[in-house]
Amino acid sequence: MLAAAFVAFANHLLESAPWARDKLSLHAGKTALFDVFPVRLAFSVAADGRLQPAPPEASPAVTIRLSHLTLIAVLADGEEAWRKAEVVGDTDFAAVISQVASNLRWDVEEDLSRVVGDIAAHRMAQAGRAAAAWPKQAAVSMAENAAEYLTEEKAVLVTPLQAAEFMREVDELRDAVERMDKRIEHLSRPARGR
């Protein structure tokens, strides 16, 4: 049931990506297994590069194990996050899956426009993008507020300006000590010569 839904969605995305179907077709007949405990999802690649649910007796050419956090990172970050997946089996096939999955884009607005019309679809997609961006904006805002609190209110951290000023003062002190050292050395020489 889950495999059929995944395959239908993936094939919908592959319809507008002939480059991805071409890459996948090179691995026609192979089966991949995604293992995200407790879900195991297997699919096979058809000759035309589309996916199909794997037959129950199919042996996977590659097994890709993802933790729940890695799965979220893959969905959010794309190709970079795939490096955290545990791959067992055909690494070339896994690399193609990673590349295709990282570069396929769902045109949500286009799909919504078929159901609710262009204007409503545009507004809904815009609201979705804003909602998706909110956690990142909130995290940046919280980090900035925490930094300001720790530098200004509690003075636990120093600002870059304060750090630069401190380093300048340390340099000045070091130079003054070196000058004093040379002055003492210079003044002690004539005393020895007498």
Let me know whether 116 and 192 are in one domain: no
Let me know whether 97 and 173 are in one domain: no
Residue type, 2: L
Let me know whether 121 and 89 are in one domain: no
Q: Considering 88, 103, 118, which residue would you say is the last residue of a domain?
A: 103
Q: What is the mean pLDDT of residues 5-9?
A: 87
Residue type, 163: A
Tens of pLDDT, residue by residue over 91-137, are 899 889 888 887 787 766 676 677 777 777 778 777 777 776 777 77
- The Cα–Cα gap between 61 and 84 comes to 19
Q: How many domains does the chain have?
A: 3
Instruction: Check: CB of residue 35 under 8 Å from CB of residue 66.
Output: yes
- For the stretch 122-146, what's the b/e string if a residue is b when 16 or more beta carbons lie within 10 angstroms of its beta carbon? eebbeeeeeeeeeeeeeeeeeeeee
Let me know whether 9 and 99 are in one domain: yes
Write down the pLDDT at residue 22.
94
Domain of 194 in residue numbering reads as: 158-194
Q: Which two tokens stand for residue 31?
A: 């089966």
Instruction: Check: CB of residue 107 under 8 Å from CB of residue 129.
Output: no
Let me know whether 152 and 162 are in one domain: no
Let me know whether 65 and 99 are in one domain: yes
Let me know whether 7 and 44 are in one domain: yes
Write down the pLDDT at residue 109.
64
DSSP secondary structure code for residue 16 in this structure: T
Let me know whether 89 and 169 are in one domain: no
Write down the pLDDT at residue 122.
72
Residues 6+ apart with CB under 8 A from 41: 2, 3, 6, 33, 34
Let me know whether 93 and 176 are in one domain: no
Write down the pLDDT at residue 194.
52
| pTM of the model as a whole | 0.56
> How many CB atoms are closer than 10 A to CB 96?
20
Let me know whether 26 and 54 are in one domain: yes
Pairing of strands 31-36, 39-45: antiparallel
Most confident stretch, 5-9, 17-21, 133-137, 151-155? 17-21
Write down the pLDDT at residue 192.
54
Tens of pLDDT, residue by residue over 69-91, are 777 777 666 666 677 788 899 98
Write down the pLDDT at residue 75.
67
Let me know whether 93 and 113 are in one domain: no
Let me know whether 141 and 63 are in one domain: no
First to last CA, the chain: 103
Tens of pLDDT, residue by residue over 24-76, are 999 999 999 988 888 888 999 999 999 999 988 889 999 988 887 777 777 66
Tens of pLDDT, residue by residue over 153-162, are 777 677 778 7
Write down the pLDDT at residue 79.
63
